[in-house]
């Protein structure tokens, strides 16, 4: 069998590293052709030596020069944003794993979809900001977008081969993060916020999990990717993180997707879909007593979930503004510029400021790029940073 050629963008991050482990595990099916990151020189050099891709890409040109001088001529090292955006267009790859932070991967994803390729998409912010035009683009060029997010991969599995018109609603689970019991303390310190009880992830998504904005972003992702209406998508707290998603049908019957919480499973699902292979992930052990709990989301304590629904009601402009404000607020919190409790306020005020513009019916990608930038600038001004 010909091996599928894969590029992992965001290879030095939490999802990227898991993707490399999956590709190594299934080396008879997959060939790693390219890895890409921003500026983690030491890490990407180690990855190049270990996994032997043909291409090593860095969006930061100076970092690319440093990688070139370290690795010599054994690899093709490409530097700069444009190189990353153009690479997935080439015949060198069949599948792009997109796990770069935020919306940095937009150009690369469009390039892959334009060639009708498969994109295993972890970067949820891309669907939150550009979801509508991105999915139109994907349909137009017969590309495939598969969700790496474990909850969305869970929905994908429950819906496989089913008639969407029979679905009453889909239910995303949330671990509840470190403040599930207490509610988020307004003055929580960065190290408390980054102590996630279940998942080990990058800093941005870990903060989003503590405010529950992560669940809000996933609700938006679900609407954009599967085409459900916002009132068909709901979230529930499930501290064990064993059930990743549930789909409820018209007759009241529910299907759920369960597994141990391990990102290597949804990544592998996207890569091998529609087939399955043995994985590196442990099986659930039903010989042990196992309790599963489900609790409603306390929207008063975690206002970010409500803000996400409010943004969804305002359409693509709303979700773009929400994400831009959240990005700025989370970064400001990590830099010690605002308190943890101020994150929802920054988002709320930014959403309110852009109310008029959010109403436009159909947004193109360039219009959303402009809006994202302006909303980010407004949020920075609110905080008093440039
Ligand atoms: N972690 C999870 O379990 C998980 C689960 C579901 C979805 N996701 C989503 O997956 C995405 C990545 O999450 P993560 O936790 O893996 O993040 P992470 O550990 O912070 O890794 C981010 C990756 O993106 C690269 N990057 C950062 N800024 C960039 C830029 N300006 N241009 C190009 N590349 C850039 C980083 O490269 P450098 O190392 O060179 O900076 C790194 O490879 C996020 O959208 C997140 O919401 C994550």
Q: Is 270 domain-assigned? A: no
Nearest Cα to 120, choosing from 39, 18, 213, 45? 18
Residue whose CB lies within 8 A of the most ligand 1 atoms, among 7, 10, 48, for a mutation test: 10
Q: Is 277 domain-assigned? A: no
Q: Quick one: pLDDT band at residue 355, thresholds 50, 70, 90? A: confident
State whether the beta carbon of 12 lies less than 6 angstroms from ligand 1.
yes
159 and 107 in one domain? no
Question: What is the arithmetic mean of pLDDT over 237-243?
Answer: 97
Contact status, residue 176 vs residue 261, Cβ threshold 8 Å: no
pLDDT (tens digit per residue) in 191-224: 999 998 888 899 999 999 999 999 999 999 999 9
Q: Quick one: pLDDT band at residue 358, thresholds 50, 70, 90? A: low
Q: How far apart are CA 167 and CA 352, in angstroms?
A: 33
State whether the beta carbon of 100 lies less than 6 angstroms from ligand 1.
yes
State whether the beta carbon of 14 lies less than 6 angstroms from ligand 1.
yes
287 and 211 in one domain? yes
365 and 349 in one domain? yes
* pLDDT at position 77: 97
Last residue of a domain, one of 116, 131, 147: 147
CA distances to 93, 110, 214 from 3, in Å: 11, 23, 34
pLDDT (tens digit per residue) in 38-97: 999 999 999 999 999 999 999 999 999 999 999 989 999 999 999 999 999 989 999 999
* pLDDT at position 197: 87
pLDDT (tens digit per residue) in 133-155: 999 999 999 999 999 999 999 99
User: 124: domain CATH number?
Assistant: 3.40.50.720
State whether the beta carbon of 270 lies less than 6 angstroms from ligand 1.
no
CB atoms inside a 10 Å sphere around CB 20? 22
State whether the beta carbon of 51 lies less than 6 angstroms from ligand 1.
no
Residue reference for tokens 């190594």: 24
197 and 140 in one domain? no
| 274 upstream amide cis, omega within 30 of 0 | yes
Question: What is the arithmetic mean of pLDDT over 113-123?
Answer: 98
The kind and range of the H/E element at 252 are none
* pLDDT at position 356: 72
Rg for the chain, CA atoms, rounded: 20
pTM: 0.97
199 and 134 in one domain? no
* pLDDT at position 198: 87
* pLDDT at position 140: 98
303 and 162 in one domain? yes
Contact status, residue 96 vs residue 122, Cβ threshold 8 Å: no
Residue whose CB lies within 8 A of the most ligand 1 atoms, among 81, 101, 217, for a mutation test: 101
- The per-residue DSSP string of 131-183 comes to HHHHHHHHHHTT-EEEE-SHHHHHHHHHHTT--GGGEEEEEEEE---TTTTT-
pLDDT (tens digit per residue) in 248-302: 999 999 999 999 999 999 999 999 999 999 999 999 999 999 999 999 999 999 9
Decide if pLDDT at 226 tops 80: yes
Last residue of a domain, one of 96, 131, 147: 147
337 and 218 in one domain? yes
* pLDDT at position 205: 97
91 and 37 in one domain? yes
185 and 45 in one domain? no
Q: How far is the CA of 36 from the centre of ligand 1 (A)?
A: 11
State whether the beta carbon of 264 lies less than 6 angstroms from ligand 1.
no
Residue reference for tokens 């190049």: 48
- Give the residue, by CA position, lying nearest to ligand 1 atom 3: 201
Q: How far apart are CA 304 and CA 377, in angstroms?
A: 20
Q: How far is the CA of 114 from the centre of ligand 1 (A)?
A: 23
Q: DSSP secondary-structure letter at 36?
A: E
Domain that holds residue 202: 152-265+282-383
Q: How far is the CA of 385 from the centre of ligand 1 (A)?
A: 24
Q: How far is the CA of 109 from the centre of ligand 1 (A)?
A: 15
Contact status, residue 53 vs residue 23, Cβ threshold 8 Å: no
* pLDDT at position 196: 87
Q: How far apart are CA 112 and CA 120, in angstroms?
A: 11
Domain count, the chain: 2
181 and 37 in one domain? no
* pLDDT at position 249: 98
Q: How far apart are CA 68 and CA 45, in angstroms?
A: 9
128 and 53 in one domain? yes
Last residue of a domain, one of 147, 171, 206: 147
Q: Is 274 domain-assigned? A: no
Q: Is 68 domain-assigned? A: yes
State whether the beta carbon of 205 lies less than 6 angstroms from ligand 1.
yes
346 and 213 in one domain? yes
The kind and range of the H/E element at 248 are strand 243-249
Q: How far apart are CA 275 and CA 273, in angstroms?
A: 5
Decide if pLDDT at 105 tops 90: yes
Q: How far apart are CA 109 and CA 70, in angstroms?
A: 29
Q: Quick one: pLDDT band at residue 359, thresholds 50, 70, 90? A: low
Contact status, residue 282 vs residue 334, Cβ threshold 8 Å: no
pLDDT (tens digit per residue) in 6-39: 999 999 999 999 999 999 999 999 999 999 999 9
Q: How far apart are CA 348 and CA 274, in angstroms?
A: 41
Q: Quick one: pLDDT band at residue 103, thresholds 50, 70, 90? A: very high
Contact status, residue 373 vs residue 321, Cβ threshold 8 Å: no
Q: Pick out the residues of the known binding site.
A: 12-15, 124-125, 149-151, 175, 196, 202, 209, 214-215, 218
């Amino acid at each position: 069998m010909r091996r599928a050629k894969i590029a992992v963008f965001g290879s030095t991050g939490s999802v990227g590293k898991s993707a490399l482990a999956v590709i190594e595990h299934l080396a008879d099916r997959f060939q790693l052709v390219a890895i890409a990151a921003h500026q983690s020189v030491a890490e990407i050099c180690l990855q190049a030596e270990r996994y032997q891709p043909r291409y090593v890409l860095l969006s930061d040109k100076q970092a690319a020069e440093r990688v070139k001088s370290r690795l010599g001529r054994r690899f093709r090292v490409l530097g700069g944003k444009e190189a990353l955006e153009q690479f997935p267009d080439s015949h060198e790859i069949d599948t792009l794993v997109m796990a770069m932070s935020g919306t940095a991967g937009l150009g690369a994803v469009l390039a892959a979809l334009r060639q009708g390729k498969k994109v295993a998409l972890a970067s949820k912010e891309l669907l939150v900001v550009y979801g509508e035009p991105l999915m139109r683009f994907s349909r137009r060029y017969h590309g495939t977008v598969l969700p790496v997010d474990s909850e969305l991969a869970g929905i994908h599995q429950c819906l496989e081969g089913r008639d969407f018109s029979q679905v009453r609603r889909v239910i995303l689970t949330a671990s509840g993060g470190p403040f599930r019991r207490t509610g988020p303390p307004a003055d929580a310190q960065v190290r408390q916020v980054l102590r996630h009880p279940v998942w080990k992830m990058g800093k941005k998504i870990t903060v989003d999990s503590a405010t529950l904005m992560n669940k809000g972003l996933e609700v938006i992702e679900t609407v954009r990717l599967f085409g459900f209406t916002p009132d068909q998508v709901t979230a529930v707290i499930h501290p064990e993180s064993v059930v990743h998603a549930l789909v409820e049908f018209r007759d009241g019957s529910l299907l759920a997707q369960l597994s141990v919480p391990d990102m290597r499973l949804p990544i592998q699902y996207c890569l091998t879909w529609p087939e399955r292979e043995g994985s590196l992930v442990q099986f659930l052990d039903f010989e042990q007593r196992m309790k599963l709990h489900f609790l409603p989301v306390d929207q008063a304590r975690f206002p970010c979930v409500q803000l996400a629904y409010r943004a969804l009601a305002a359409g693509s402009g709303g979700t773009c503004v929400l994400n831009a404000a959240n990005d700025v607020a989370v970064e400001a919190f990590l830099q010690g510029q605002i308190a943890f409790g101020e994150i929802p306020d920054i988002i709320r005020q930014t959403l309110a400021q852009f109310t008029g513009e959010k109403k436009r019916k159909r947004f193109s990608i360039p219009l959303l790029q402009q809006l994202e930038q302006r909303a980010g600038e407004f949020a920075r001004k609110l905080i008093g940073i440039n």
